[in-house]
Amino acid sequence: MAFRTNLTKVPLTVALFFLTGAIFSLDMRDEYEGATTWLLYFILAIPVAKLYSPRVLLFAISGWSLLIAVKLVQLSPTGHVGTSIFNRSIGMIILWTMAFLLYRQRSLGQLISEEEHRVTAILDGALDAVIAINAHSRITAWNPQAEKMFGFRREEAVGKLLPDLIIPPAFRDAHARGLQRFVETGEGPIMNRRIEVMALHRDGREFPVELSVMPLRSGRTVSFCAFVRDITARRELETTLRQAREVAESASQAKSDFVANISHEIRTPLNAICGTTELLLTTCLTPAQRRYAEMCLKASHTLLQLVTELLDFSRIESGRLQLELKPYDLRQLVERTIGLLSHRAEQKGLILSAHIEDDLPALIKGDAFRLQQVLLNLVSNALKFTSQGSVDITAFVVDKEPNCPRFRLSVTDSGIGIPPEDLERIFDRFTQVDSAASRQHGGVGLGLAICKRLIALMGGRIWAESSPGKGSTFIVDMPFSPVGDSDSPCAASPPMAAIGSAAPTASEPKGLAILIAEDSAESRELIHYWFEDTPHRVESVADGEQAVQRYRAGRYDLVLMDLQMPGMDGFSATRAIRAWETAQKREAVPIIALTANAFREAAEQGAAAGCTGILTKPIGRSLLLDTVARVGSRAVAPSVHAVPTPMQTRLPADTAQRITQQLADRRPQFLRNRRKDLIALREAAARGDYDTIGLLGHRIKGIAGSYGFPDMGTLGHHLEAAAKAADLPAVQAQLTQMAALLEQCDKAA
């Protein structure tokens, strides 16, 4: 192409040489020194500047200047030298000036056209359609992608009005208004940002495009350039993905619902299987029958745990798990966990201990129930995978930053440890390091997955540090909010599973009619005693059947229902009361379940039976009265919800002292009762009466803490567990310990 262009210039170049020669010979013949002859070089400079490169022009001008100078030398010194020098100097200056100007214009023009070519090449190669319009919406640029996208060729599009060509009729007015607004005010909401609009194809089809429009200002005029991308495929993909996600989500929701429902349904008969197998084990059985029944019980417990974990997991997965934010005492939580698992530690000869740093506030806010669930799981695992040594729980504040304080709770064991490559994996569902070992120990690999999700829901983090053979440490890092003055004083209580919506509010103490169903005379007496000096009227009965009868005959504002009672238990009594209320179209009164069993199942079964809330024994006076005030206020005056200040429920110092004193006065009687229990327990052990042992153990567990004998409470717990397992040696061991403990107490007294 360049070669051909050069060829066409050859005659022109030859002509220019001839013309130059002609002008030079004319100039040489000119005797007088007029300006006419060399002025012709100027005229020749114009086509040279237009047709040749700036370099050729410079070359030509230099040549002509030389020729002018030659003529100057040839002039006779006598002639018109002065005029000639002047004329020719002026001529040369003009020629060079002209050359400079022509050169510059030519260079600029060349630059501009080169630039234009480059821009056109870029736009033509762009993956997006590029369209430019002027301030009147006339198309000034249209690249090949625009041709493909809209179906109009460049020649057809350029010069046309943009709205007529590619904007669907429904949007043309908006386009005109937007353009006018921008021209007048310089503002436009769609300028310089990505927007998605509908565009029109030549065949009349409308399709979605993504575009970004840039205003281009040049002096007072403005034009616009738009990059347009067809997003039909993307939209279709998005729709398909959304539909697929909706289908997957609803399938996952249906699965979670199914698992949750089925787990719940399975648990009820499973509970019955566990219960009746336990009953069966208390009867006279041949050794083989006992072995089979024990195997059945063990398998039922494993299945129950699995179903409970599945239920929890599916609840968390489906986002149906509600966390509570209530004050609780982390120390009590840890102590309770130890109390629940110390028997298992003893059975394996392991030391289970806890150390809580003093810098942890007495009360913090959070979901104590779920945190205890996590801790129980971690400690159970530690006990499971440790054959000798110890399991230690520690808690301390890691970040005292007032805006976001955090504490760390860790469980360290001296067990088998975990290989480094499994440290993260074990938090995945159904993942176990050694499935053979886990089969031996039980469990399906859901516990840590639940812990991880629970802790994440609480805003914390959980991880494990371990190496094989050197034990493991599971660490929970949790943010916490310290309890402020405005928080309910029930803060001092162990976690109350507020089943339903027990708001942490209370009204002024009002006299309530309270019915207590509690089989232990000692507990009844203690509760009566707790209510002394209060405006409440309290009546008590010894079992569920009496509770239902008394409730139907009288008018009560609140019921305190022990869950484990011989004969009709608290669950059945609550169900019967609720059924009667429904039949009578009476409003449901709050029923607070009392239990010495801190397990989640108790809370859930209580809720299923119709209880309003649950209190875990041992129950202190202030916790009991606060709870009654809180729950009772809703029963008596549902609209009154004054937030109690700590003063409202805190006892005056002298009263508190009096109560402490009276409790101390009652301790000898408590110990006398335990001695009677010891005799009854020994007799029961002698005749293999695990029912009585379990019942007495359960009672001791529930009441001992209230009198300030936590060790006795733990002993009661172990007795109950040993009776449940029909483990006579364990029962005997506990009775020996009980005798020793009573002796110690006597000595201390």
Q: What is the 3-state secondary structure (H, E, C) of 654-708?
A: HHHHHHHHHHHHHHHHHHHHHHHHHHHHHHHHHCCCHHHHHHHHHHHHHHHHHHC
Q: How far is the CB of 297 from ligand ADP (least distance, A)?
A: 19
Closer CB to ligand ADP, 444 or 589, in the complex: 444
Among the listed residues 65, 143, 381, 714, the single contact to ligand ADP using CB under 6 A: 381
Among the listed residues 339, 445, 613, 618, the single contact to ligand ADP using CB under 6 A: 445
Q: Which stretch binds ligand ADP (CB under 6 A): 443-451, 533-541, 634-642, 684-692?
A: 443-451
Among the listed residues 413, 543, 626, 720, the single contact to ligand ADP using CB under 6 A: 413
Query: What single-letter DSSP state applies at residue 188?
Result: -
Q: How far is the CB of 612 from ligand ADP (least distance, A)?
A: 33
Q: Could you identify the residue written with the tokens 């669907």?
A: 168
Strands 537-541 and 513-517: parallel
Give the footprint of ligand ADP on residues 517-576 (CB under 6 A): none
Paired strand residues for 351: 390
Nearest to 371 by CA among 340, 337, 400, 396: 337
Buried b (16+ CB within 10 A) or exposed e, 570-587: bbbbbbbbbeebeeeeee
Per CB under 6 A, 602 contacts ligand ADP? no
Q: How far is the CB of 427 from ligand ADP (least distance, A)?
A: 7
Per CB under 6 A, 382 contacts ligand ADP? yes
Q: How far is the CB of 494 from ligand ADP (least distance, A)?
A: 24
What distance in Å separates the CA atoms of residue 150 and residue 130, rounded to the nearest whole number? 11
57 touches 45 (CB < 8 A): yes
Give the footprint of ligand ADP on residues 338-377 (CB under 6 A): 377
Closer CB to ligand ADP, 308 or 734, in the complex: 308
Q: How far is the CB of 344 from ligand ADP (least distance, A)?
A: 14
Closer CB to ligand ADP, 277 or 381, in the complex: 381
Closer CB to ligand ADP, 58 or 457, in the complex: 457
What distance in Å separates the CA atoms of residue 462 and residue 584, rounded to the nearest whole number? 51
Q: Which residues, at least 6 apart from 57, have a Cβ–Cβ distance to it below 8 Å?
A: 45, 48, 49, 99, 102, 103, 106
Q: How far is the CB of 436 from ligand ADP (least distance, A)?
A: 10
Closer CB to ligand ADP, 418 or 497, in the complex: 418
Nearest to 573 by CA among 601, 541, 617, 600: 541
E strand or H helix that includes residue 153: none
67 touches 25 (CB < 8 A): no
Q: Which stretch binds ligand ADP (CB under 6 A): 5-13, 36-44, 337-345, 447-455?
A: 447-455
E strand or H helix that includes residue 436: helix 435-441
Q: What angle do CA 509, 511, 514 make, to 5 degrees?
A: 115
Q: What binding mask, one character per residue, do residues 262-281 give for ligand ADP by CB under 6 A, x or -?
A: --------------------
Q: Which stretch binds ligand ADP (CB under 6 A): 90-98, 136-144, 222-230, 380-388?
A: 380-388
Q: Which stretch binds ligand ADP (CB under 6 A): 412-420, 485-493, 497-505, 689-697?
A: 412-420
Per CB under 6 A, 447 contacts ligand ADP? yes
Q: How far is the CB of 413 from ligand ADP (least distance, A)?
A: 5
What distance in Å separates the CA atoms of residue 238 and residue 231, rounded to the nearest whole number? 10
Per CB under 6 A, 443 contacts ligand ADP? yes
What distance in Å separates the CA atoms of residue 161 and residue 624, rounded to the nearest whole number? 82
Q: How far is the CB of 349 from ligand ADP (least distance, A)?
A: 17
667 touches 526 (CB < 8 A): no
Per CB under 6 A, 432 contacts ligand ADP? yes
Euclidean distance between the first and the last CA atom of the chain, given in angstroms as a whole number: 119
Q: How far is the CB of 330 from ligand ADP (least distance, A)?
A: 21
Closer CB to ligand ADP, 472 or 627, in the complex: 472
Number of residues that bind ligand ADP (CB under 6 A): 21
What distance in Å separates the CA atoms of residue 531 and residue 655, rounded to the nearest whole number? 13
Q: How far is the CB of 391 from ligand ADP (least distance, A)?
A: 8
162 touches 138 (CB < 8 A): yes
What distance in Å separates the CA atoms of residue 284 and residue 561, rounded to the nearest whole number? 32
Q: Which stretch binds ligand ADP (CB under 6 A): 295-303, 314-322, 414-422, 491-499?
A: 414-422
Long-range Cβ contacts of 645-649 (<8 Å, 24+ apart): 645/485, 646/485, 646/489, 648/489, 648/506, 648/508, 648/509, 649/489, 649/506, 649/622, 649/625
Closer CB to ligand ADP, 471 or 606, in the complex: 471
Q: How far is the CB of 460 from ligand ADP (least distance, A)?
A: 17
Closer CB to ligand ADP, 467 or 657, in the complex: 467
Per CB under 6 A, 418 contacts ligand ADP? yes
Closer CB to ligand ADP, 306 or 659, in the complex: 306
Nearest to 557 by CA among 542, 571, 536, 578: 536
Q: How far is the CB of 425 from ligand ADP (least distance, A)?
A: 9
619 touches 531 (CB < 8 A): no
Q: How far is the CB of 392 from ligand ADP (least distance, A)?
A: 12
Closer CB to ligand ADP, 103 or 474, in the complex: 474
Nearest to 333 by CA among 313, 360, 315: 360
What distance in Å separates the CA atoms of residue 81 and residue 79, rounded to the nearest whole number? 6
Per CB under 6 A, 444 contacts ligand ADP? yes
Q: How far is the CB of 379 from ligand ADP (least distance, A)?
A: 9
Give the footprint of ligand ADP on residues 461-480 (CB under 6 A): 472
Q: How far is the CB of 495 from ligand ADP (least distance, A)?
A: 22
Closer CB to ligand ADP, 143 or 380, in the complex: 380
Coil, helix or strand at residue 348: coil
By CB under 6 A, name the binding residues for ligand ADP: 377, 381-382, 385, 413, 415-416, 418, 426, 432-434, 438, 443-449, 472
